[in-house]
Structure 1
């Protein structure tokens, strides 16, 4: 009837495979199948299963779990209809992005777009930009872990009709400007690692790239670009729909579940409070960026 991918941690704590990287979590199962969450945990030998991107419609999903939007670019009605919705809902952003693209080409050179390239060199350029972004904003650098780099490279090398790693790069006068690495099925492109060269920051390279990527994706049969959970300005400007993911845990009664609650739940609730309050979120983001600048100076 399906399968349940998870990692087992000490005390019988279950987490999604590659927790912290996966933006779609839970069971892969037959439609309308009935699976009791506590029965599943018992059969898997788990005391707790913790998640932060549990997809909608899961047997593991309970009423108490926190729901979060996952913005999407819905291309099911075609590229032209999507741009019409952009003009209606984010007209200023759409027009200014096109204007910046024209200005960029006047001042720096012609744009070239490589969609779904499998070359490793541009991937490494993209990952270096992402590392710089993590450090600059005070976040942990995911690509300091060799296994994550290896995972991304193996996914890029995986190319089939139903699943593939997708590397997408935009160049200015043959200089890499912005890019993205994600995963696709036949009809969905899942956003994962977008980044750009900060030398071009004044031209809004991320928006220029995302529009170019969405247009090429639509032409290749992609119906939905899932930009993933997270409050980002560019997602609000580009979205024309939303999916939903949940955060929380399912737990069996026992000492392990109690220890996990003490260690994880108050922290999660505090983070949710900060994320929901614009003033607290702005303060936290500013603090992280200050930390990132100090860390960069010290490393140099």
Structure 2
């Protein structure tokens, strides 16, 4: 095998076509985070993005997109922003993973949402996790029946709140694939507020992530697109979502809602209506990603599997990286596995978020009081 490392933007039309061909040939790769369009967009914004092009005498056999950070530390493309990564290749392609790292000038590659079971990385998987999905291959009504079987009480409650919101706030309608950038701005503002309220890092405080979202929103081809949905009560937006899709799969990314309407559970109402719109648009699946949200358990009608693990070559930087990352990864896995610990951690983060928000609200008046005379 010959391995050549390039920037994704350097791939020619034939190479990009081959990438799409390999992706479509394997159902486990049907995820927009594995699409060449996402890799090219990341490359425009981040200098550390690379792709290994793997070929033999028969032509290109695979692509390995990744990030190369200082000291040869390798990370999945998109890192904490994405819910799926891996090798885009024929299902039976098996490489020497350490030789691949050597060709990519990496000392270590740490993964946590890798497509499970890929031959190149299978022996390095330390854990495999389910990622719940809404599966519409048997039709929307069949999916709703599964949701009802999962939790009839939850579905009944949400449908009641849906009708109540419509009566009290105005007729509900869902806009599918909105092209309006102002609608996207509204959604991202809600999401930033959610991050801050719940004690999380506000991703949209980083300008490049906002720019990436804008770039993805502008994408609209049959194989890859950004999909913005918004639920309205009358003419007022109350809940929405922005995600990416392939021809058949939509991946959950940034859901949010206006907290003024929280009593109606607008986020879950939106998800039910978004699911129907996705099925009507010809999509087969909504991938909700692995994680500890309870609503995923009763909305799911199937699962995919993603793996956590680590490949490394002997080096000082790999050893330091292991000492820094392994305890964190183990702690995160323990918390995600135990609902009681997840809820406790969520409460702590929300408490931190309330304190942080309160302090931020007080800062402007304090700043005026403490500002020296003549300061600009």
Shorter-chain TM-score: what band? over 0.9
2:234 counterpart (173, 188, 212): 173
The reply to whether residue 94 of structure 1 matches residue 161 of structure 2 is: no
Deviates further, 90-99 or 105-114: 90-99
2:73 is matched with 13
1:182 is matched with 243
Kindly indicate whether the alpha-carbon contact (under 8 Å) linking 1:137 and 1:288 is maintained by their aligned counterparts in 2: yes
Matches within 5 A, 1:98-177: 98-177=159-238
CA distance in 2, matches of 1:57, 1:152: 30
Kindly indicate whether the alpha-carbon contact (under 8 Å) linking 2:130 and 2:305 is maintained by their aligned counterparts in 1: yes
Note the alpha carbon deviations across 1:132-162, whole angstroms, 9 max, x for none: 1000000000000000001001111010011
Aligned residue pairs, count: 300
1:2 deviation in Å?
1.1
Change (3 A) 1:278 1:86: closer
User: TM (normalized to structure 2)?
Assistant: 0.78
The reply to whether residue 204 of structure 1 matches residue 252 of structure 2 is: no
Partner SS state of residue 176, structure 1: strand
Partner SS state of residue 310, structure 2: strand
Kindly indicate whether the alpha-carbon contact (under 8 Å) linking 1:41 and 1:49 is maintained by their aligned counterparts in 2: yes
The reply to whether residue 65 of structure 1 matches residue 126 of structure 2 is: yes
2:85 counterpart (4, 10, 25): 25
Partner SS state of residue 25, structure 1: coil
Higher RCO (CA-CA < 8 Å; seq separation 6+): 1
1:232 counterpart (293, 298, 306): 293
1:40 is matched with 100
Note the alpha carbon deviations across 1:101-129, whole angstroms, 9 max, x for none: 11111111111210011110110000001
1:64 deviation in Å?
4.4
The reply to whether residue 254 of structure 1 matches residue 327 of structure 2 is: no
Kindly indicate whether the alpha-carbon contact (under 8 Å) linking 1:112 and 1:174 is maintained by their aligned counterparts in 2: no
**Which blocks of at least 5 consecutive residues in structure 2 are unaligned?**
1-60, 362-376
CA distance in 2, matches of 1:21, 1:274: 20
**Which blocks of at least 5 consecutive residues in structure 1 are unaligned?**
none
CA distance in 2, matches of 1:225, 1:169: 16
Change (3 A) 1:80 1:282: closer
1:80 counterpart (114, 117, 141): 141
Report the RMSD for the aligned CA atoms in angstroms: 1.2
User: TM (normalized to structure 1)?
Assistant: 0.97
2:282 is matched with 221
2:334 counterpart (265, 269, 273): 273
Note the alpha carbon deviations across 1:45-102, whole angstroms, 9 max, x for none: 1110011111123222336421121110010000111111122222111122111111
